Structure 1
Amino acid sequence: MARLAGARVLSLDYRLAPDSPFPAALVDALAAYLFLLYPPADSGVAPVAAQNIVIMGDSAGGGLTFATMLAIRDAGLPLPGGIVGLSPWLDLLHSMPSVLTNAFSDYLPAEGFTQGGQGSLKRVAKLASTVHPDDDLLNHPDMPEIQHYASNAVLDCPYVSPLVERSLEGACPMLVIAGDGEMLRDEAIVFAKKNAGASPILHLSLYDDMPHVFPMFDFLPSARYALEQAADFIQSVTGDVQGIVNKSFVRVGVDGNRQPLEEDVVIGWEKRVGKLGGGHQVLANLPQTEA
């Protein structure tokens, strides 16, 4: 990415769960951003203007990228030039249908999305006699912890699950790249559609047949297209090149051909987008199959 975008890269070795659960990773990300903006006098590092910084991450790091942007905005700090999320994990509540429907077209193990794997799933199954669907599921005394990263009580916090943020008003330019075959596909679509009116520049690219974080498979043409797209975005929002359009929702074929994302894919989420942003009870009641 440094070569493609002609940029310098600061790779953040942030603390990981379960040894360091939320908010450790977010604190580390904010500390790194503040270091770039306001480096100590004895650091030997020159300050970097916020508009020249693009925060980028994939998977859990992609979710952290958007959470960091929210925290930066909410703290009143200068916003970065842009945000890039590659297959970002935006919903730790697993509310979206593709977590189930794309389980057989992705390499992520379905059982890996709950703490403890199959053991946790079996424990959850045993709750059927004690937990009612209308209960406060995340705070139910019989509900085991779902994630290593954060306790159940904060999974519907936007700094943990950016998908539930009510509005990205005042956000910086954003690029979301996802694979059409990945389990996290739907949350990328909903996040982009939900916030299309709030961000000055927002792009969603859905790559045909691609799995989770497919750009790391750099032998694939689609991976190269995605990395080049990210590099173009970085150069555009930092002012190195001109001409980026404000909004785009596109489907990218395996040959690199780009077409507008089908209307039914985007518009079909209106009812879900209208319900999002209020917490886990609303998310838990979303339909599990596409209408």
Structure 2
Amino acid sequence: MASPESLMVKQLLKAQSAGQGQPAAAEFSIEAARQGLEMLSALTPDVSDVQVEKTAIEGIPAEWVSAPNAKADRVFLYLHGGAYIMGSCNTHRYLASKLSFSTEARVLVPEYRLAPEHPFPAALEDALHAYHWLCSSGYQPENIIIGGDSAGGGLTMSTLLTLKENGEPLPAVAVLISPWTDLAGTGESMETRKEADPWLSPNLTLEVPVMYLREIDPKNPIVSPIYADLSGLPPMIVHVGNDEILLDDSTRLVDRALSAGADVTFKIWEDMWHVFQTFTIPEGQQSIDEIGEFVKSKLR
């Protein structure tokens, strides 16, 4: 049964969505969406004892988030969500802090370039650049975790697929939180979960990708990993909410990965919504703890 805290948050999200309606892309304000996500993240508390250090990856703004128990040689490259059009270190600092504790890793959050100002392949180029920078800085691939939420989860897969295609060493483990893996929006949950989803709009989820893709086919495997060959990838953990329209982006990805022989741990969280781990609810902490246990079991 869902906790009282999660029920309260869910009701607030539903009320907010009802008040805003379901606008079409033509009525969508990118600046308002970016500001709204920043304001939402301001409601999360600071995590005590976590060190935050601003940095730059050869021009890409980034942030190190390090819990006291983080191992010096272990790093988590975290790619934030936000539909490729919003999100920042600010919006994901709380989640990065909790993940640093649970995985015992320093977390590096790059502010990859956002669409529509910087459409595909800008975000992917920046993610690859951040990974290469970590490797050149002395971190060994076997001690690197890569992961992200929503669009950041899809970007994680795109990064892994590109590294694999190039024959480069892969990170040791991947963490996918409500990953957005089908920019064509063909999953049945787009319809079956639209009434249950307190946060995401099917209309916008179907229409916004053009801001990132421009003329790219949304079923191109490099932008929609649900259509890719998923063999040869590192162990991965996927957590998704049962009450989100992107549920099938996870279920189908996991099915394809398992069919390709991948090592996958998968959990669907009942009564939970998209990236519920960003909220201060018991279920969010439990998910983060389980992710940490999985990661530590795969690293030396």
Same fold (TM > 0.5): yes
Residues 1:111 and 2:239 are matched in the alignment: no
Paired with 2:176 and 2:269, the residues of 1 have a C-alpha distance of 14
Paired with 1:181 and 1:66, the residues of 2 have a C-alpha distance of 23
Contact in 2 for aligned 1:50/1:79 (Cα 8 Å): yes
Structure 2, unaligned stretches of length 5 or more? Answer: 1-98
Give the TM-score normalised by structure 2: 0.64
Paired with 1:69 and 1:153, the residues of 2 have a C-alpha distance of 19
Instruction: Pick one of 203, 217, 231 that aligns with 1:154.
Output: 217
State the SS of the aligned residue for 1:16.
coil
Paired residue for 2:283? 222
Q: Shift in Å at residue 183 of structure 1?
A: 0.6
Q: Which structure has the highest strand share of the two?
A: 2
Q: Shift in Å at residue 200 of structure 1?
A: 4.2
Per-residue CA deviation, residues 157-194 of structure 1 (Å, 9 max, x unaligned), is 111000011x2111111111100111110120111011
Paired residue for 2:55? none
Paired with 1:197 and 1:236, the residues of 2 have a C-alpha distance of 23
Are the structure 2 counterparts of residues 63 and 50 from structure 1 closer, same or farther at C-alpha, using a change threshold of 3 Å? same
Percent identity of equivalent pairs: 36
Are the structure 2 counterparts of residues 200 and 187 from structure 1 closer, same or farther at C-alpha, using a change threshold of 3 Å? closer
* Greater C-alpha Rg: 1
State the SS of the aligned residue for 1:149.
helix
Per-residue CA deviation, residues 128-151 of structure 1 (Å, 9 max, x unaligned), is xxxxxxxxxxxxxxxxxx521102
Q: Shift in Å at residue 64 of structure 1?
A: 0.4
When structure 1 is superposed on structure 2, of 152-161 and 182-191 the one drifting more is: 152-161
Instruction: Pick one of 202, 227, 230 that aligns with 1:164.
Output: 227
After TM superposition, which residue ranges in structure 1, 4 or more long, deviate above 4 angstroms?
A: none
Q: Which structure has the highest helix share of the two?
A: 2
Residues 1:234 and 2:295 are matched in the alignment: yes
Mapping of residues 265-284 of structure 1, within 5 Å: none
Q: Shift in Å at residue 115 of structure 1?
A: 3.5
**Number of residue pairs matched by the alignment:** 201
Contact in 2 for aligned 1:174/1:199 (Cα 8 Å): no
Give the TM-score normalised by structure 1: 0.66
Instruction: Pick one of 150, 161, 171 that aligns with 1:70.
Output: 161
| Structure 2 residue identity aligned to 1:8 | R
Instruction: Pick one of 5, 15, 19 that aligns with 2:117.
Output: 19
Q: Shift in Å at residue 214 of structure 1?
A: 0.9
Instruction: Pick one of 172, 178, 187 that aligns with 1:96.
Output: 187
Paired with 2:159 and 2:295, the residues of 1 have a C-alpha distance of 17
Mapping of residues 193-208 of structure 1, within 5 Å: 193-208=255-270
Structure 1, unaligned stretches of length 5 or more? Answer: 40-46, 117-145, 240-291
